[in-house]
């Protein structure tokens, strides 16, 4: 039996949902009430009965809950890619989160020199730490921080080579996922790119012969997201530095990722560091804050003090500078590197990359019964070996042994069932993102840490794959 002869007015409905208004705000709830009433009216025009009162209110509640949720929501990254650009790259250490929260909540000495009471420089918050970590505190080394590494490259090129030429090997004209291509960035920086060598081979004499009256600098780009193998030749940084310096030119390296620690010491594939780049003779290095460094999104430019000073005077620096939240997280992250013994335990990026495969497989075995129960007859679940990747272009060829929950639909033509299962995991309160391979849905458990096991398990009851 239907409660409504006519649909109630918006205000009458609103009067009955004070708790929704309290949680989500009057404007949002009003919009939801209007939308549900309009849907009911539309249905009734097409001969459907008006909804039961309880159903109407339940629909309003559902709509408000969905609309009131944050758009930028936490998810479970079970894609097997640790530094996943679309999922926000590096997770911050607790120390970095705490310093960010402090900076958000209170006034802080962002550009204020507490010793003199005069104006400070925001780069000074991390410049000394970076010089210490990268160059043993050498006084001629300084740093400046911008929004991301793409900005770091743009600013560096514009400040040092506007209207002039920069020499880069053809084998290093990389495109980083999305819209970052070295030749395009050069053009926007108003620098003329001089390409040398061929795709697979570049020689020292190619650099030397490219230098002319208009040359402003030599540049090396770390080919972070692909590898050229076979008949190849690159010129190492030391040699390029010598050629540049003989001509009185600066040599800059875009490292892309750039970790401050020795990956080999953690059993990881070696990755070039800014320390090595400067030691090899680079005058400046640029790298990302949120790739292997494990910090916030930022672009770090580190190197010779007089070049950094020139970069800081460029008007683009003001447009590309970072805010206090970024600097808070970056400072705290860099401080963790001052205590290498505890780094792998405190820095999530390194902790996740070094997680042993047997520990991940054991987690899979613990979760398997619950995942199988949530899927019922729809699929069979097993724990299988898989390989994770580092992501964000770092070490594209290397794989890290890991373990995944592998979900295979039981239906004969399983394509649709697979999509339905994938979508159901994405609809969970905290969406779960895996990947499909070989007609199976994979959940690589490398990035599901112990502290999250319970919440992952608890929400499985809400899984609705049908």
Ligand X SMILES: *Cc1c(COP(=O)(O)O)cnc(C)c1O
Binding residues for ligand X, rule: CB under 6 A, are 148-150, 153, 174, 176, 180, 221-222, 224, 254, 256-257, 288, 299, 392-393
Closer to ligand X at the Cβ: 64 or 193? 193
CB contact burial 245-278 (16+ within 10 A = b; e otherwise): eeeebbbbbbbbbbbbbebeeeebeebbbbbbbb
Residue 174 vs 189, nearer CB to ligand X: 174
Which is closer to ligand X, CB of 20 or CB of 221? 221
CB of 203 to ligand X, least distance (A): 22
Residue 253 beta carbon to ligand X: minimum distance, rounded to whole angstroms: 9
Bridge partners, residue 298, by sequence: none
Calpha distance 98→331 (Å, rounded): 11
Q: Give me the least distance between CB of 361 and ligand X, in Å please.
A: 31
CB of 280 to ligand X, least distance (A): 17
* Residue number with the smallest Cβ distance to ligand X: 256
Residue 434: phi and psi, rounded to 5, are: -115, -150
CB of 293 to ligand X, least distance (A): 10
Task: Kindly state the smallest distance separating residue 347's Cβ from ligand X, in Å.
Answer: 18
The three-state DSSP-derived secondary structure of 325-385 is: HHHHHHHHHHHHHCCHHHHHHHCHHHHHHCCCHHHHHHHHHHHHHHHHHHHHHHEEEEEEE
For the range 50-53, what are the long-range contacts, defined as Cβ-Cβ under 8 Å and sequence gap of 24 or more?
Answer: 50/2, 50/3, 50/4, 50/5, 50/7, 51/4, 52/2, 52/3, 53/3, 53/4
User: For residues 149 and 142, what is the distance between their CA atoms, to the nearest angstrom?
Assistant: 17
Q: Which is nearer to ligand X, 85 or 414 (CB)?
A: 85
Q: How far is the CB of 179 from ligand X (least distance, A)?
A: 10
For ligand X, which is the closer residue by CB, 181 or 416?
A: 181
Strand, helix or coil for residue 4: coil
Q: Are 321 and 147 in contact (CB under 8 A)?
A: yes
Residue 298 or 448 with smaller CB distance to ligand X: 298
Cβ nearer to ligand X, comparing 257 with 276: 257
CB 372 within 8 A of CB 381: yes
> Whole-number minimum distance, CB 271 to ligand X, in Å?
11
Contact status, residue 300 vs residue 287, Cβ threshold 8 Å: yes
CB of 22 to ligand X, least distance (A): 41
Closest to ligand X by CB, 298 or 374? 298
DSSP string spanning 401-428?
EEEEEEEEE-SSS-HHHHHHHHHHHHTS
- Residue 210 or 285: which CB sits closer to ligand X? 285
Q: Pairing mode, if any, of strands 141-146 and 299-304?
A: antiparallel
Q: State the Cα–Cα distance between residues 164 and 216, nearest whole angstrom.
A: 6
């Amino acid at each position: 039996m239907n409660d409504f002869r006519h649909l109630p007015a918006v205000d009458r409905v609103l009067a009955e949902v004070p708790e929704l208004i309290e949680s989500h705000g009057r404007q949002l709830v009003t919009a939801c009430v209007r939308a549900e009433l309009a849907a009911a009216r539309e249905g009734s025009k097409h001969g459907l009965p008006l909804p039961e009162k309880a159903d109407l209110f339940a629909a309003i509640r559902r709509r408000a809950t969905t609309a009131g949720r944050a758009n930028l929501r936490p998810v479970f990254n079970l894609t097997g890619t640790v530094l996943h650009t679309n999922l926000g790259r590096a997770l911050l250490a607790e120390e970095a989160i705490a310093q960010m929260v402090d900076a958000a909540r209170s006034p802080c000495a962002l550009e204020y020199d507490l010793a003199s009471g005069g104006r400070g420089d925001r780069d000074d918050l991390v410049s000394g730490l970076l010089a210490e970590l990268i160059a043993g505190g050498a006084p001629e080394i300084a740093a400046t921080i911008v929004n991301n590494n793409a900005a770091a490259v743009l600013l560096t090129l514009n400040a040092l080579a506007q209207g002039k030429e920069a020499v880069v090997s053809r084998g290093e004209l990389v495109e980083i996922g999305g819209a970052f291509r070295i030749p395009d960035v050069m053009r926007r920086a108003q620098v003329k790119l001089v390409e040398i060598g061929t795709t697979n081979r570049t020689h020292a004499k190619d650099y030397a012969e490219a230098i002319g009256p208009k040359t402003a600098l030599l540049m090396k780009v770390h080919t972070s997201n692909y590898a050229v193998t076979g008949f190849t030749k690159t010129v190492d940084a030391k040699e390029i530095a010598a050629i540049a310096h003989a001509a009185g030119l600066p040599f800059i390296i875009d490292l892309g990722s750039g970790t401050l620690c020795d990956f080999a010491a953690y059993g990881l594939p070696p990755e070039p560091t800014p320390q090595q780049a400067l030691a090899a003779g680079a005058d400046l290095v640029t790298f990302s804050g949120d790739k292997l460094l494990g910090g916030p999104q930022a672009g770090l430019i580190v190197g010779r003090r007089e070049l950094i000073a020139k970069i800081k005077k460029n008007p683009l620096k003001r447009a590309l500078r970072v805010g206090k939240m970024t600097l808070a997280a970056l400072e705290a992250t860099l401080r963790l590197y001052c205590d290498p013994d505890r780094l792998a335990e405190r820095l999530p990026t390194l902790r996740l990359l070094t997680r042993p495969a047997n520990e991940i497989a054991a987690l899979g075995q613990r979760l398997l019964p619950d995942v199988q129960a949530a899927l019922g007859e729809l699929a069979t679940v097993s724990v299988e070996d898989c390989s994770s990747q580092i992501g964000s272009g770092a070490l594209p060829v290397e794989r890290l042994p890991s373990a995944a929950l592998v979900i295979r639909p039981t239906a004969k033509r399983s394509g649709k069932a697979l999509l339905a299962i994938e979508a159901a995991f994405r609809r969970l309160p905290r969406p779960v993102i895996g990947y499909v391979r070989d007609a199976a849905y994979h959940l690589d458990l490398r990035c599901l840490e112990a502290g999250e096991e319970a919440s992952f398990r608890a929400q499985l009851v809400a899984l609705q794959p049908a």
